[in-house]
């Protein structure tokens, strides 16, 4: 079990995350298991290893919010596992942070308490301009490797991947959270994607609320962006990735200039 100190947030505790893809649905499957040793928590893909455990006697109703970001994909079997093994287990509410064109027949629309939408962009440079204006276009590209995935989705510099997209969705989410005072309404948050299959109960009461919990694996040299469990106080710092890079690009020049630079490494850099 790894433990790290962060400048803006408490220690990150890593859940063992064995990378695998379920070919039947093309979605990630994982299961949380704990043992009696302090700080020993593992997340395993594709099989349930959680022993039968007694549920806590005191449960605070609706003090947890699960936020699903991005496109709604994975299918109903994945979403049903989210309802059963995450929402119901934790008496949690569901919020969706999705693009305005992502209106599918998903049952998530009926289950969600909050549905927040963001504009989708052909060139995500236009979205990045919303943070502090277009001034970053004169500074950040000079420091950034031409084919870096950190600002994937920004067309004029040929950045690959979807880095700018995932960071802007987090920025849009942070604006909604601040505007609606969401951190005053909930104690804990799960920020995740829609294409995970939960093979067993994801019981947050077994995770220390003073730590930030993320899966271990699929880190690509940094910190995975797929799933995070965080308390109300640390939620906004955890989401705050891109704005600081745009305002102080020289602090990130070495990472931006690496051919191997990626969103996962940038998250790790920000959290340190």
Polymer length in residues for the chain: 272
Closest CA to 216 of 12, 48, 38, 63: 12
Backbone phi and psi for residue 127, each to the nearest 5 degrees, phi listed first: -70, -45
Backbone phi and psi for residue 4, each to the nearest 5 degrees, phi listed first: -125, 150
Q: Is 41 strand, coil or helix?
A: strand
Q: Say what percent of the chain tops pLDDT 90.
A: 52
Beta strand pairing status for 93-99 and 64-69?
Answer: parallel
pLDDT at position 1 is: 31
Q: Quick one: 260 exposed, middle or buried, by C-beta within 10 A (0-12, 13-18, 19+)?
A: exposed
pLDDT at 11 over 90: no
Segment among 35-39, 44-48, 177-181 with least mean pLDDT: 44-48
pTM, rounded to two decimals: 0.80
For residue 13, list its beta bridge partners. 3, 213
Q: Cα(first)–Cα(last) distance of the chain, in Å?
A: 18
Residues near 56 by Cβ (< 8 Å), separated by ≥ 6? 205
pLDDT in tens, 69-127: 998 988 999 999 999 999 999 999 999 999 987 667 889 999 999 999 999 999 999 99
Tell me how far apart the alpha carbons of residues 201 and 161 are, in angstroms, rounded to a whole number. 32
């Amino acid at each position: 079990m790894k433990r790290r100190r962060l400048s803006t947030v408490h220690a990150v505790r890593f859940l063992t995350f064995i990378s695998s893809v379920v070919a039947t649905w093309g979605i990630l499957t994982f299961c949380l298991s704990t043992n009696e040793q302090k700080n020993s928590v593992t997340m395993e893909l594709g099989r349930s290893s959680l022993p039968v455990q007694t549920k806590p006697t005191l449960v605070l109703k609706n003090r947890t919010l699960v936020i699903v970001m991005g496109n709604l994909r994975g299918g109903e079997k994945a979403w049903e596992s989210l309802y059963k093994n995450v929402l119901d287990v934790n008496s949690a509410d569901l919020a969706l942070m999705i693009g305005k064109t992502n209106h599918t027949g998903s049952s998530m629309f009926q289950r969600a308490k909050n549905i927040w939408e963001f504009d989708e962009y052909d060139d995500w440079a236009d979205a990045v301009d919303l943070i502090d204006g277009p001034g970053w276009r004169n500074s950040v590209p000079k420091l950034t490797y031409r084919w870096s995935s950190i600002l994937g989705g920004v067309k004029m510099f040929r950045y690959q991947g979807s880095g700018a997209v995932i960071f802007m969705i987090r920025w849009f989410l942070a604006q909604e959270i601040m505007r609606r005072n969401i951190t005053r309404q909930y104690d804990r948050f799960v920020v995740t994607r829609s294409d995970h299959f939960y093979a067993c109960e994801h019981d947050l009461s077994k995770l220390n609320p003073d730590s930030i919990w993320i899966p271990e694996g699929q880190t690509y040299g940094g910190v995975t962006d797929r799933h995070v469990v965080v308390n109300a106080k640390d939620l906004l710092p955890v989401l705050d990735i891109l704005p600081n890079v745009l305002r102080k690009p020289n602090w990130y020049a070495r990472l931006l200039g690496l051919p191997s630079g990626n969103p996962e490494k940038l998250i790790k850099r920000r959290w340190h």
